[in-house]
Amino acid sequence: MIADVETYLQHLAAERRLSPHSVMAARRDLAKLIQLVGSTPLADLTLTDIRGAIIKLRGHALAAPSVARHLSSWRGFYHFACRRLGYHHNPCVGLRPPKAAKRLPDTLTPDACAQLLDAATSDAAAPESNPVLEARDRAMFELLYSSGLRLAELVGLDVSGVDLVSGETEVIGKGRKTRRVPIGSQACAAITAWLPLRAPLARDTAALFVSQRGSRITPRSVQLRLDRWARRAGLDQHVYPHLLRHAFATHVLQSSGDLRAVQDMLGHASISTTQVYTHLDWQHLAQVYDTAHPRARKKPA
């Protein structure tokens, strides 16, 4: 049973080229299934067994999206097992995940983005500030917002992957798929200012963004540095790297209305994933309407 799961996880990593994070999530979900069904071999599970496992998950107060993710992992395993491991049936066939209200992603307004990226400049010369790290951070955060990068894509960038002349960068996204995205002028300027400061640090790495020790910067370091910048800029909401990606998508869509272009720049396999930003755009328009239209709001009694 464990050997079958390991074979499937190797398939996810080597053949489907999923990220370590995705493989680890699948490992946890399958381990949970094994725990829930007890000693019954995975090859012998029935539709009733899977239903019972889902009921137990809901009984543990697991949210609907988490239950849906578990079921998706189980379904993927059985689809693979029936094709490659000799399993005779897929007990997940016909099961639908519990419905959950779609939650719109958080985002930042254009003014908040400007406050984040511009206001911190006045503090760059403070005694406790490190000018080298300030330049690096500015380049990272400008690039996140300018190009809508995922955090893993940002930390995975090499110097050779950025073309400041053409204003483009090539990134490796989910499933090891590459795409080219534009870099805005302010991000180009920030990277140009960072590169001479990077050279003395990065002796043995091709990474564009490095730590004080000269190694490729870690995702956690980016998260902590961005949180520090946001607090220093006086923003009253939690700011994290993916929030800048949401802001990029929302602001480009509001300005252009070109959903397909936003899909390509974000690297979404399906346009339905990108369409969530049309809901954010409508939410913004509805707020404008409620504020501006003289007959939009109820008159006080």
Catalytic residues: 150, 174, 242, 245, 268, 277
298: left (phi over 0), alpha (psi -120 to 50) or beta: beta
Q: Which residue has the tokens 């090891």?
A: 176
* Beta-bridge mates of residue 12: none
Quote the Cα angle for 220-223-226, to 5°. Answer: 150
Please state at what angle helix 259-266 crosses helix 276-292, rounded to 10 degrees.
Answer: 130
Write out the H or E segment, with its range, that includes residue 110: helix 110-119
Q: How many CA atoms lie within 13 A of 70 on its CB side?
A: 24
- Sheet with 168-172, side-by-side order of all strands: 162-163, 168-172, 178-182
Main-chain phi, psi angles of 105, to 5 degrees: -65, 150
| CB 59 within 8 Å of CB 45 | no
Other C-beta atoms closer than 10 Å to the C-beta of 170 total 14
Dist CA 34 CA 2 (whole Å): 9
Quote the Cα angle for 117-205-220, to 5°. Answer: 45
Dist CA 167 CA 45 (whole Å): 54
The residue among 10, 2, 13, 94 whose CA lies nearest residue 43 is 2
